[in-house]
Structure 1
Amino acid sequence: MPERPAYLRIADTLRKGIRDGSLPPGTRLPTMAELQAAHKVSEIVIRQAIALLRQEGLIETRRGGGTVVKVAPPARRVAMDRYRAFTRPVAVPETTFTRDQRITWHEYRLDKEFDRTHAGPDLAGLFELPVGTELLRRRFVFYARGEPQQIAVNFLPWSLVGHTPVADPAREPWPGGTMAQLDYLGHPPTRVEESVRSRMPTPEEAETLRMSAGVPVLAITRRLISGEDVMEVCRDIVLPADRVILDYSIDL
């Protein structure tokens, strides 16, 4: 077997230290010169190893602080049964997001963009409606304590929400979120469907969510159904994969 390139071997050594805890989060890595001397390689080889670990999301370079092992925030556990809380009145304003983040209403911020669009083949299929059906498109960026945590783009039939308070961005954030809005419109959700996939973020998503290089996102497509009708399609809910664990349970 040919010997592995030097930069891969150096990255393996540093990665092992990060994973076994000998290089804990926040630890500053040795300088370029120190790594060159320790491994007897050129600066370009060290730069290649560092670039690989940065791409994997294990390290980050701070202005004036050198290269350090990335401090990953503890992942939040998010369970599907959180939707059940919004099938009944709540005593204080909240949404699934504020419950997930364990924040108060005053610690919650929402950036929003509303516009009208028409369903292409994919959205029409998810709604089980004809192609070209007019929809309200809403793009939200969710903040907890001033930090962006989630992007969601959701769609509702214009025939359902047009000229109602739900189509007014000034009414956001709406206590109870989309679940409560559908209940207000007389179509309380009776079923939630989610499908999850993993992918790398777009440049816009990475910038908006202030993500480190090399971190993927979880992209969740959601349908809210009332009776036999699909009332809302969210495509997608975008979450940095290092900030959340999705819990699913099935009663047998």
Structure 2
Amino acid sequence: MPFGEQPAYLRVASDLRKKIADGSLPPHARLPSQARIREEYGVSDTVALEARKVLMAEGLVEGRSGSGTYVREVPAPRRIARTGYRTMSECTPFRQEQSDERVRGTWESHSEQEDAAPAIADRLDLAPGERVMRTRYVFRVDGDAAMLSTSWEPLSVTGRTPVMLPEEGPLAGRGVVERMAAIDLVVDNVTEEVGTRPGRAEETAALGGVPGHAVLVVARTFFAGKRAVETADVVVPADRFRIAYHLPVR
């Protein structure tokens, strides 16, 4: 193969991708069959199959058992704004992660105590095995799951206080900043690391995505001075969200 020339299956995939992008193959349209691709592009069955696999791996098409392969409808990405955290009562967990004020999100949560895994203990500056309160969230927009979050709070900080359970008690749902203020801890800084990885089976099932497709993960930790008081992983489908930062310059 001459230098710089694409393999045949990538050239076929590229042409089909262009047709999807320009609307020649609109959402829900059936992708040409393997035999049609072979005939139209003058390629082998193997090349046609590999081209279809590329488009499936990119999330542009999906297979339907006994029916064929169809173009997926990919929604326009929503923005997750990272501009700091407020302490007002409306700063709910969903509002901390969602920038569009027109969106009316809801969430479900479940909290339980557990021993801190080594990675979580490291983020919270705890000894492995120290007890933490883990809370899992499913955030929904118009009834559809849009975002997952798992938070961990050291019970050495919140245990036996009114804010031990993030979603119960007098400050339920008020957010980390306000809840910690209620136990005389001033949250004054936060760190975030943003990365991507393949979505785990349970994550993509909950979010209605394609198994193995990339998810964005925001690993966030709140501090009161140098003391970590909460760490969380926020997980969103990479094809549906963009992380948008707006930070002051000092």
Task: Give the TM bin, normalised by the shorter chain.
Answer: 0.7 to 0.9
**Identity across the alignment (%):** 34
Counterpart of 2:156 (choices 133, 155, 159) is 159
Counterpart of 1:81 (choices 80, 83, 92) is 83
The secondary structure found in structure 1 opposite 2:32 is: coil
Higher helix share: 1
1:39 match: 41
1:212 match: 210
Q: CA deviation at 1:228?
A: 3.1
Check 1:134–1:115 CA distance in 2 against 1; reply closer, same or farther (3 A cut). Answer: closer
Contact 1:35 1:46 in 2 (8 A): yes
2:191 match: 193
1:136 match: 133
Counterpart of 2:179 (choices 172, 178, 181) is 181
Runs of 5+ in structure 2 lacking a partner? none
Aligned counterparts of 2:65 and 2:107: Cα–Cα separation in 1: 28
The secondary structure found in structure 2 opposite 1:163 is: coil
1:96 match: 96
**Aligned residue pairs, count:** 246
Aligned counterparts of 1:90 and 1:4: Cα–Cα separation in 2: 53
1:69 match: 71
Aligned: 1:146 with 2:148: no
Aligned counterparts of 2:181 and 2:198: Cα–Cα separation in 1: 35
Contact 1:112 1:169 in 2 (8 A): no
The residue type equivalent to 1:157 in the other structure is P
Check 1:125–1:109 CA distance in 2 against 1; reply closer, same or farther (3 A cut). Answer: closer
The residue type equivalent to 1:140 in the other structure is Y
Aligned counterparts of 1:183 and 1:204: Cα–Cα separation in 2: 34
Contact 1:108 1:143 in 2 (8 A): yes
The secondary structure found in structure 2 opposite 1:242 is: coil
Contact 1:112 1:141 in 2 (8 A): no
Check 1:232–1:170 CA distance in 2 against 1; reply closer, same or farther (3 A cut). Answer: closer
The residue type equivalent to 2:75 in the other structure is P
Check 1:118–1:80 CA distance in 2 against 1; reply closer, same or farther (3 A cut). Answer: same
Check 1:179–1:170 CA distance in 2 against 1; reply closer, same or farther (3 A cut). Answer: closer
Q: CA deviation at 1:221?
A: 1.0
What whole-Å deviation, never above 9, does each CA across 1:131-154 have from its counterpart, x for those lacking one?
443222222222222212222221
Contact 2:79 2:99 in 1 (8 A): no
What whole-Å deviation, never above 9, does each CA across 1:31-61 have from its counterpart, x for those lacking one?
3343232124454442222122101111123
Aligned counterparts of 1:61 and 1:110: Cα–Cα separation in 2: 31
CA RMSD of aligned residues (A): 3.1
The residue type equivalent to 1:71 in the other structure is E
Contact 1:93 1:175 in 2 (8 A): yes
The residue type equivalent to 1:27 in the other structure is A
Aligned counterparts of 1:158 and 1:100: Cα–Cα separation in 2: 33
Counterpart of 1:248 (choices 230, 242, 245) is 245
Q: Which moved more, 1:182-191 or 1:145-154?
A: 182-191
Q: CA deviation at 1:242?
A: 1.2
